[in-house]
Chains A and B, each alone.
Chain A
Amino acid sequence: MNAIETSGLVKVFGDTRAVDGVDLTVPAGTVYGLLGPNGAGKTTTVKMLATLLRPDDGEARIFGHDVRADPNAVRRLVSLTGQYASVDEDLTGTENLLLLGRLIGHPRARARDRAAQLLSAFGLTEAAGKQVKHYSGGMRRRLDIAASILNTPKLLFLDEPTTGLDPRSRNQVWDIVRAVVAHGTTVLLTTQYLDEADQLASRIAVIDHGRVIAEGTKGELKASVGVGSVHLRLRDADQRPAARDLLAHVLDAEVSLDADPVALTARLSGRAAEQAAEALARLSREGITVDNFSLGQPSLDEVFLALTDKQKEAAA
């Protein structure tokens, strides 16, 4: 059975169609990534699926339960970790988990055990008695996720779980997500970061202006936007126009000038490493000194540019 099925989901705020006909199919037991920039409609989509917002049109089913017709059945199966930590800042970590444990229906003693257990598993035992407002961003996010799995949900919504976190905290959150999924929970993850979707998700939908503009496995998506790109830093800014022309010719690719006056980026299409090596050799033969270069996967910007270009072409 699919964890999530939506068809033609729409949410309108005033004149803005925040979500404009989203179709998603998320198989149970997987991590599904919803990738898009700020304001693309990710959070609105998640809120509709978590019964926080009523869809204006279309259908959404969570494990077969319609979010509009049977919200309580949906609420029993899902948990949401919002973009801004959904915990009470005035209470301590323990109190937050106790509160939610009691609300789920645990007896007092069991709620207490469960809170202690989760705090320890999330490395928050030391901070358990402190008010959440004194927590760091990473700790707050971990407490938030702990609160979401007090009663292991069948479907967990993680709305930008690592936005604003330092790399170590981000890795910790990723480890937690992997453990939760290994346990059989389906995760719908929204993110602005391609590498996060890359790390965690098995399928990804790219969303922009309230629409899904691409959907597939990671491999499929990457293939659709090219292999990646090569970033170069030259020693001399004056040589940049020459370098651009040369790269455009050798790689037969689009070359863009970065904000940094000595840097430029070329998108690669075929065998990335070979192409990049050849380009570097040609540059050095022409007397253009390259201080630094890196081969990168397509950045989120590039994925978007490529995907939205394709859309425009299709429309034309």
Chain B
Amino acid sequence: MTVTEDIEALAAPDTNNLTEVLLDDDQPTRPSALSASLTFGWRAVLKIRHVPEQLFDVTAFPIMMILMFTYLFGGALAGSPGEYLQYLLPGITVTSVVMITMYTGVAVNTDIAKGVFDRFRTLPIWRPAPMVGYILGDLLRYVLASIVIMVVGLVLGFRPGGGFVGVVLGVALLVAFSFAFSWVWTMFGLLMRNEKSVMGVSMFVLMPLTFLSNVYVNPETMPGWLQAFVDVNPITLLVRSVRALMAGEFDASATTWTLVYGVVFTVVFGTLTMRLYNRK
């Protein structure tokens, strides 16, 4: 409180000075779509810098997931935690990163609740730029989470056959898919009334999507009707692709389908997002 008062005591606008500021006015040219999007991405990075605690969910949460699942199920499912880790790690990386995508929706929703969103919407810029900006900022979080998981995985004994290149390719595919998938959340961020309902819907979508997949166990033991779902689940396809890449292989069909899903998510939910954004 005292801080505020101290600043206030010194502050008073100077209208003479203000007139000069108003006169020193040039008409800049409208920024390009890329430049506007990057500027919004920069904003997201600034927010991380000011509130670093928000990185908790991209660091501590994934570590907890790996440790829990490796030691809880490892012995039972694969004979030993070390064995299981070879199977689990690519999948848990996917799960952790896909889980964080929901914070894009939360960020959109929080901004709407505050007036700053209205200001962005009255700017003569490329319309999707603020949305793209959120997601660009989030890419940074996805990469960060992936690095944390990989480091912990390596320490625990994960030995990817694809080496460094395989891991990088796997993470790159994961991040690209997450970018596309984030459009689902920008849509919900615009649609829902408050932050809590955004979180609620996100969990409702993400829990089945990540668990009913090949992340934790081999789908062969599941009943047929469940396998049918698991096989077309985009997370399953993404995990198959990432696993292959990290193992130094290439699963052409899974990778193609993953990319198709990515394009579909971007087109469908990107369009819906922009329609809501223009109407809000």
A122 with B125, Cβ < 8 A, contacts A54-B279, A82-B118 known:
no
- Proximity bits, B106-130, A CB within 8 Å = 1, else 0: 0000000011101111111100010
A contacts, CB < 8 Å to B: 47, 50-52, 54, 72, 75-76, 78-80, 82-91, 95, 99-100, 102-107, 110, 117-118, 120-124, 126-127, 130-131, 134-136, 138-139, 142, 147, 149, 151-152, 172, 175-176, 178-180, 182-183
Cβ contacts B1-16/A at 8 Å (1 or 0 each): 0011101101111110
Which residues in A have their C-beta under 8 angstroms from that of B122?
50-52, 75, 78-80
Q: Does B22 contact A (CB under 8 A)?
A: yes
Q: Give the interface segment out of B40-48, B135-143, B219-227.
A: B40-48
> Inside 8 A of B124's CB, which chain A residues have their CB?
72, 75-76
B94 located at the interface, meaning its Cβ lies under 8 Å from any Cβ of chain A in the complex:
no
B15 touches A179 (CB 8 A): yes
For B127, the closest partner residue in chain A by CB is: A72
Chain B residues with Cβ under 8 A from A136's Cβ? 4-5, 7-8
- Whether A175 and B13, one on each chain, are in contact in the complex, defined by CB atoms closer than 8 angstroms, is yes
A residues less than 8 Å from B28 (CB atoms): 104-107, 110, 151
B18 touches A179 (CB 8 A): yes
B11 contacts A126, CB within 8 Å? Answer: yes
Q: Which residues from chain B contact A152 at a C-beta distance below 8 Å?
A: 22, 25
In the complex the two chains form, what is the Cα distance from A130 to B22 in whole Å?
24
In the complex, which residues of chain B have a beta carbon less than 8 angstroms from the beta carbon of A76? Answer: 124
Please measure, in the bound complex, the distance between the C-alpha atom of A95 and the C-alpha atom of B45, giving whole angstroms: 12
Within 8 Å CB of A142, what residues of B? 11, 13
Q: Which residue of A lies closest to B9 (CB)?
A: A126
* B218: Cβ under 8 A from any A Cβ: no
B24 contact set on A, CB distance < 8 A: 117
Complex CA distance for A86 and B115, rounded to whole angstroms: 4
Residue-wise interface mask of B (29-41) relative to A, using a CB-CB cutoff of 8 A (1 in contact, 0 not): 1110001100110
How many A-B residue pairs have C-beta atoms within 8 angstroms? Tell me.
146
Contacts A121-B17, A183-B22 known; 8 new A-B pairs at CB < 8 A: A54-B279, A80-B119, A88-B47, A120-B14, A120-B17, A127-B11, A149-B22, A176-B18
Q: Contact: B19 with A118, CB < 8 Å?
A: no
* Residue numbers in B under 8 Å from A178 (CB-CB): 15
Interface centre among B42, B123, B125 (most CB of A within 10 A): B123
Residue B76 interfacial (CB < 8 Å): no
Is B155 an interface residue, CB under 8 A from the partner?
no
Distance from B37 Cβ to chain A, minimum over Cβ atoms (Å): 10
What is the minimal beta-carbon distance from B280 to any residue of chain A, in angstroms? Answer: 8
Tell me, in angstroms, the Cα distance from A134 to B39 when the chains sit together: 24
A178: nearest chain-B partner, CB-CB = B15
Most buried by B among A50, A87, A88, A142: A88
Known: A76-B124, A103-B125, A121-B18. A147 touches B119 (CB 8 A): yes
Q: Are B22 and A122 in contact (CB under 8 A)?
A: no
Please report the C-alpha to C-alpha distance between residue A138 and residue B13 in the assembled complex, in whole angstroms: 11
Closest Cβ neighbor of B31 among chain A residues: A105
Q: Which residues of A contact B50 (CB under 8 A)?
A: 90-91, 131
Distance in Å from the Cβ of B265 to the closest Cβ of chain A?
27
